Amino acid sequence: MNRLCDSMEPKVMDDDMLKLAVGEQGPQEEAGQLAKQEGILFKDVLSLQLDFRNILRIDNLWQFENLRKLQLDNNIIEKIEGLENLTHLVWLDLSFNNIETIEGLDTLVNLEDLSLFNNRISKIDSLDALVKLQVLSLGNNQIDNMMNIVYLRRFKCLRTLSLSGNPISEAEDYKMFICAYLPDLVYLDFRRIDDHTKELAEAKHQYSIDELKHRENLMQVRLQDERARQEELEKHKTAFVEHLNGSFLFDSMYAEDSEGNKLSYLPGVSELLEAYKDKFVIICVNIFEYGLKQQEKRKIELDTFSECVHEAIQENQEQGKRKIAQFEEKHLSSLSAIREESELPNIEKMILECSADVSELFNELMMLEMQLVEQLEETINMFERNIVDMVGLFIENVQSLMAQCRDLENHHHEKLLEISISTLEKIVKGDLDEDLPDDLRALFVDKDTIVNAVGASHDIHLLKIDNREDELVTRINSWCTRLVDKIHKDEIMRNRKRVKEINQYIDHMQSELDNLEYSDILD
């Protein structure tokens, strides 16, 4: 299957090859000559044919960001790569190459037609991202396991499949198996599947298909549940209170606290710990619910601000359009009058008047833009004050609630220390009735040892609380700063773009007047 010609060296996909290919496939008449002179931008190319060029490696295609069709058949390509930026690709032909593994297609979400005919592929996989796939050609490869067909059930749009020339196509049940497991398929190996064949296939494999559908449904439910959990988690992260709607923070305090876990077996500590956890979780849930409410308020504030900005820009643009329409109506009338005028002094006077009108329009449009800038600046500053105040209040209240968590931890620490010292005194006196685990009894060597153990546990818990608080504060402050910075930058870019548009339009109008030749007018 290796198609490397003895008389040809492997080729590299460099700029020269790509320019040559684009030039060969472009228009050949006057438009083509003009394109060659001015140069063709790769990003504007929609179709590219690179077949029969002895290409060994796919490379340098990143500039073809709008490419829809790519033909790379009849080369010596060994690996699918270098296609990451071709996200608009709809049709891809990699047939007659030396490819062994399907890979490198994860970003081609718009691909509808894929040909890998006549390669060295033995397994159908790594196509998951191709949700729009309709045509798949894998004939003349080395696929020998019928379970590859089951993988293709996930492609709901797949209507045409070619697998002839693979070891599996020699199987007695080949056609029936595919028709049963891919019931929406219309064409198999370039032949239309008739309804009778589909009915026979379904009847033959009904038990297996029913069992598979049951497993698929269970998997779909699990995927939907997982997706819902992820969406919910993202919502909580947006509010900066993820994992605070339960005992996660409390449990994390003990996850790495070996001393605390040992001390939990002391007499009376179990009840103390349970009461501590209940109160701690209530505070965490309060933070969580408060966080979601504050996130909703921030969203409303941001939506209101965005709406105000949009309305202000739209109203300003409408005013600008009206002024331009009035100007153009008068300007066209003036140009007609100039062309009809035969006296040179009158023509010069009329051109000067037109030029004055252009200058007046420029001043009016710039005045409108300045008014909009001032209006938006005031709106942005007001939003910034509001959002900063909201974030500040949120942080203040969260820190107050976190302080309550620390108070609970301090109280628990005091109680645990009392129980520990009391237990030590009983052990020394021989009055302890309860049996203690060996690893816990090892802590009761002397007072310093048990005090240090209780203290170490306490330090771990406080650190966990502090870290969660710091994380929340840091993240929401960063979010606020990034948001405000982006709003200011977006307004600067909008203003620059608008000023550029005004200048380009005015320059065009003035250029028309400047290029007005008296000889043309007099003629």
412-444: per-residue pLDDT in tens?
999 999 999 988 888 888 877 778 888 888 888
What residues contact residue 223 under an 8 Å CB cut-off, 6+ apart? Answer: none
3-state secondary structure of 69: strand
- Residue 30: pLDDT band by 50, 70, 90 thresholds? very low
| Range with lowest mean pLDDT among 13-22, 183-192, 280-289 | 13-22
Statement: residue 4 has pLDDT above 90? no
Q: What is the mean pLDDT of residues 180-208?
A: 93
How confident is residue 27, by pLDDT bands cut at 50, 70 and 90? low
pLDDT at residue 3, rounded to an integer: 47
Mean pLDDT confidence for 243-262: 93
Say which residue, 418 or 25, is predicted with more confidence. 418
Confidence bin at 342 (pLDDT 50/70/90):
confident
pLDDT at 12: 83
What is the chain's mean pLDDT, rounded? 90
Q: What is the pLDDT of residues 138-182, one digit of tens each?
A: 999 999 999 999 999 999 999 999 999 999 999 999 999 999 999
pTM for the model = 0.72
Give the residue-averaged pLDDT of 63-84.
Answer: 94
What mean pLDDT is predicted for residues 467-472? 97
What the block records as the tokens of 134 is: 């309709």
* Torsion, Cα of 310, 316, 319, 325 (10° steps): -80
Are 83 and 102 within 8 A, CB to CB? no
Q: How far is CA 135 from CA 123, 148, 149, 160, 182, in A?
A: 17, 16, 14, 5, 13
- Identify the residue whose tokens are 């296609």: 83
pLDDT score of 520 more than 60:
no
Residue 397, classified by CB atoms within 10 Å of its CB into exposed (0-12), middle (13-18) or buried (19+), is middle
- For the cut 60, the answer to whether the pLDDT of residue 499 exceeds it is yes
pLDDT at 444: 86
For the segment 22-37, the average pLDDT, to the nearest whole number, is 55
Mean pLDDT computed over 448-454: 92
Residue 512 has a pLDDT of 80
pLDDT above 90 as % of the chain? 75
- Of residues 380 and 426, more confidence is placed in 380
Q: Which residue has the higher pLDDT, 523 or 228?
A: 228
What is the average pLDDT across 73-77? 95
Which domains are present in the chain?
11-142 (3.80.10.10), 247-520 (1.20.1230)
Which segment of 57-61, 98-102, 349-353 scores lowest on mean pLDDT? 349-353
Burial (CB < 10 A; 0-12, 13-18, 19+), residue 144, is: middle
Is the predicted pLDDT of residue 517 greater than 70, yes or no?
A: no
Nearest Cα neighbor of 195 from 183, 206, 181, 213 is: 183
* pLDDT in the model for residue 294: 97
pLDDT value for 443: 86
> Angle, to 10 degrees, between the axis of helix 206-238 and the axis of helix 195-204?
90
